[in-house]
Structure formats: structure tokens, C-alpha cells
Amino acid sequence: MTSDLSYFFDPKSVAIIGATDTPKFGYFQTNYLIKSGKFKIFPVHIKKETILGQKAYKNVKDIPDDVELSLVLVPMKNVLQVVLESIEKGVKGIIIESAGFSETGREEETQLQNKISKIAKDTGVRIIGPNCVGVTDVYTKFCTSGSDLSNAKTGNISIIAQSGVLGNIVIDWARGNGFGFNKVITLGNKVDVDEIDVIEYLETDERTKVIAVYLEGVKIGNETRFRNILSRVSKKKPIIVVKNGRSDIGSKAALSHTGSIAGNDIVYDALFKQIGVIRAENFYQLFDFARVFAAQPLPKGERIAVITTSGSLGILTCDEISRVGLKLAKLSDDTIEKLEKKAYPKFNWVSALRNPVDIGPAGPELMTFSIKQVLEDENVDALVQIIVIPEQVLNVSEEDPLSISREMFKMYTKQIAKFGLDKPKIISTFASPLLTSVVRSAGEAFNIPVISSMQQAVRCIKAMLEYRKYLDKNT
């Protein structure tokens, strides 16, 4: 079996079986793929002559051209037949989005699913699904989830998810938060293609720098393959995993959801450590980790500097640094002297110029200066910068205050992006949703991740350091 899955992400031609132009399941997928005009699409429908202005075929076998990929949207009871017809037609891959299989917990539907699984194994035709929304590729713009990719930003994170609805949300979420990604793959009930296959494919995908995975469990019999392949790939690219089913009740729910066995969580924990897989607690952490790993260098050590506009949040950050077992950097005398020289004559309110460096409500100039000094300090391995700015300070001018602050934050992040290129830096902001989005897009523009919670920012650095230690030992 080949690990080349590229026809799923950039297919030469696609049959949409169950294509539809009425607003029901399948509509968004059909509409996007036909309207985008980027792919050779053949709609297949048992009755209709045309779909959204394009000639429709009664059967995939009626298509006069070669078909590389079948996208199956028909009701569950017709899926087996169209899979067989697609294989007769000579497709390389099939994506089955239709649901109603083993996840119902019913015998008949599970057997049907097993039949399809066997067909994939016997013929070598690769099948994704059922019960998923297939794939999204922001570079090629191929997308079977129904999302509109016209405004999606490209990036170097690829995401493997299980369920359909989650696959869509990932795309919405990334777009809404202004950050880019590369591919999203939803696997559903995994009759054939599973996480291991996709991870192996992404191993050599040049556009993927970080692999983020939502894992519901490894199927029995696949443990060795899982261990071998992930252990090999994790040495090249960070693999970050949210693993559900930590608890017994969670395991039972996972079993009924996609029919995979959640397994003993402690075993997974140990396994992940052994093979260098980074474990995230939840989806927010998964994305935060992925953002930071994709954008920033790994830290060389455990000494964290904190620069803050709020003393209170600085202290809470120190607590978290201590909790996760990192160290607060001790700034060199030289750095402190420089900071004092610059700050004291001007700001008699400067509260503390040790670490955390609490610069109070200072403007971007002292902020930029402080960050430069701190990042140049050889006693510092990483920086968490806490920006807490009340909305009122943006309202001094009568001109559009939002566009002024957008410009200001862009200039600011552009400058600080130049300092300490070999040290990870994270901005953490606590502000109104509006101001948070302003800071976030400024950060994204210059590859400085903006993480809402300072605790989460510290955990990102901890995860990076752990990964670095793993690499140092194992490569």
C-alpha cells in the first residue's frame, strides 16, 4: 500500500456522487467545488440532467473522462454500490462523507462498513471515511467540507481530526482568528485511511511543519505501526495530539462514537513520551501549541523572562512558570542597568525592573527597548510578553481609533519580531475581544503567536522545551 495520498489533496478529476443543488447535505460541497472553478468536477445524480449549470451523469461509470477521486455524498444504503462502481471506473481514492455506519452502534450498519473496509484492503483503492467531511487543502484550494476557502490563509500546520463537524469548525476558527494552515483531514470511522497513514504522508509534505492530531484511539493490531511511524516522524516534525477517552466514561463514549477503542490512558501517556509525541489537554491548547511550534524556535533552556504592563498578571505568570517546572530568568546586571537608565528619568512610576519586568502603562517605545534588552540577555531562554491595554487609551484621537491602533500594533510587532531570533517569544493579551483581535492579527502578520491566557503561553514554552530535550536525546 502506497503512502502517497496526494490525489486526495490535489485530484486531477473528481466525481461528486450524490451532488446536489438544493440546500441539504452535500449542497455546500457541490457548490464550492463547482463554483471555485479550480478542479475538473463531474457531478453524479440519479435523476438530474444538470447540477449548478454543469452536466450531471447518472452513474460514475458514465463519465467519459478519467476520474481520480470519488466524493460520496449519497445516503448510507447506497454507499456500497457507488464504492464498487467507482472502483470499476478506476478511481485511486474515495472519500465517503455519508454517515449512519458503525457509529449508530447497530449490527447491520457495522457489517456494511466492514464490507467497505475489506474492499479497500483487497483493491488497494484508498478510502477516507465514512462519517466525515473529507479533506481541505488551503494551498490547492481543494475542499470537500463545504467551507469556502477563498479567504483562507495558508500556513504550515496540518490538522487531522475525526469528526465532520469538528473539521469544519477548525477551518472557521483558524479563519476567524486570522491564522493560516495547510491541510485539514477528517477521518470519520476510518474504514481504510487512518491517522498513521496521514501522518506518514505528511512526513514528506514540504508545506507541513507541524502536525496536529485529534486522536480517538489506535485500532487493535495497529499499535506497532503507530509506534514506529510516529516515532520516526516526530524526529522531523512536532506531532501534537489531543487524545480523548482519558476516563472510563470517556472511553465508553468514544467507543460508541466512531467504534474505536480508546484504550488505557496511562499507557498512551507513556507511549507518547517515549515516541516524542506532544500531548495537549484540549483543542484550544492543541491550536496554541501548533501556532507556537510553527512560528517560533525551540528554547535552549528553561529560563523565562516576563515583560508585562500589569503587575498582577506578571505574578500569575510567575506562578505558572513555577508550577510547570520552568525557571524565572535572572536578568544580568548589565540588562537591569540599561533598563533603569532608560526608564527611570522618564517614568517615575516604574514599579519593578527585575523579572517580571513590569513596565506599567508605558508606550511602545519603552516596551520595544525592554524587549530588545531582555532578549539579548544571555540569561534568558524565552520571553512571555503580557500586553494589557484598556480600550480607552486607543480613543485619544478623533480619527478612526481602531485603524490607528492596528497600525501601531503592526509597527510594534514588526520591530520586536527582529529581536532574539533564536529565542521563542509569545505575546499574551488580556483585553476586550476587539483589542484582542487587533493584537492577534498584528502578531500573526510577523509570526509572533498571540495567546490569550498567560498560563497557556507558559505551557507552550514548557511543551517546546520538552520536545527539544526529546530531540537532543533521540536524534
Instruction: Write down the least CB distance from residue 179 to its own copies, Å.
Output: 12
Pairing state between β 181-186 and 135-137:
antiparallel
Q: Any alpha helices (H) in 395-451, and if so which ranges?
A: 401-416, 433-445
Of 52 and 76, CB closest to its own copies: 76
Instruction: Write down the least CB distance from residue 454 to its own copies, Å.
Output: 8
Q: How far is residue 81's CA from residue 47's CA, in Å, rounded to a whole number? A: 17
Of 57 and 428, CB closest to its own copies: 428
Of 23 and 37, CB closest to its own copies: 23
Contact 61, 85 (CB under 8 A): yes
Instruction: Write down the least CB distance from residue 401 to its own copies, Å.
Output: 12
Of 20 and 87, CB closest to its own copies: 20
CA 288 from chain centre, in angstroms, equals 8
Of 147 and 182, CB closest to its own copies: 147
Of 6 and 436, CB closest to its own copies: 436
Instruction: Write down the least CB distance from residue 232 to its own copies, Å.
Output: 27
Q: How far is residue 214's CA from residue 203's CA, in Å, rounded to a whole number? A: 17
Of 296 and 310, CB closest to its own copies: 310
Q: Whose CA is closest to 84, among 45, 112, 119, 57? A: 119
Q: Which residue has the cell 487512518?
A: 194
Of 247 and 274, CB closest to its own copies: 247
Rounded-to-10 torsion of CA 180, 458, 464, 162: -50
Instruction: Write down the least CB distance from residue 318 to its own copies, Å.
Output: 4
Instruction: Write down the least CB distance from residue 33 to its own copies, Å.
Output: 13
Phi, psi of 450 (to 5 degrees): -110, 115
Distances (CA, A) of 202 to 192, 263, 467: 17, 25, 19
Instruction: Write down the least CB distance from residue 100 to its own copies, Å.
Output: 5
> Which amino acid type is present at position 257?
H
C-alpha cell at 234: 516526530
* Residues linked to residue 307 through DSSP beta bridges, in sequence order: 357, 385
Instruction: Write down the least CB distance from residue 148 to its own copies, Å.
Output: 7
Q: Which residue has the cell 477521518?
A: 187
C-alpha cell at 402: 481602531
Of 276 and 449, CB closest to its own copies: 449
Q: How far is residue 284's CA from residue 289's CA, in Å, rounded to a whole number? A: 9
Of 42 and 179, CB closest to its own copies: 179
C-alpha cell at 89: 471506473
Q: Whose CA is closest to 463, among 342, 309, 287? A: 287
Of 224 and 348, CB closest to its own copies: 348
Instruction: Write down the least CB distance from residue 292 to its own copies, Å.
Output: 18
Contact 331, 383 (CB under 8 A): no
Instruction: Write down the least CB distance from residue 159 to its own copies, Å.
Output: 13
| Residue 55 exposure: Cα atoms within 13 Å on the Cβ side | 7
Q: How far is residue 195's CA from residue 252's CA, in Å, rounded to a whole number? A: 21
Q: How far is residue 126's CA from residue 116's CA, in Å, rounded to a whole number? A: 11
Distances (CA, A) of 126 to 18, 184, 191: 19, 17, 9
Instruction: Write down the least CB distance from residue 334 to its own copies, Å.
Output: 20
Pairing state between β 50-51 and 54-55:
antiparallel
C-alpha cell at 311: 503587575
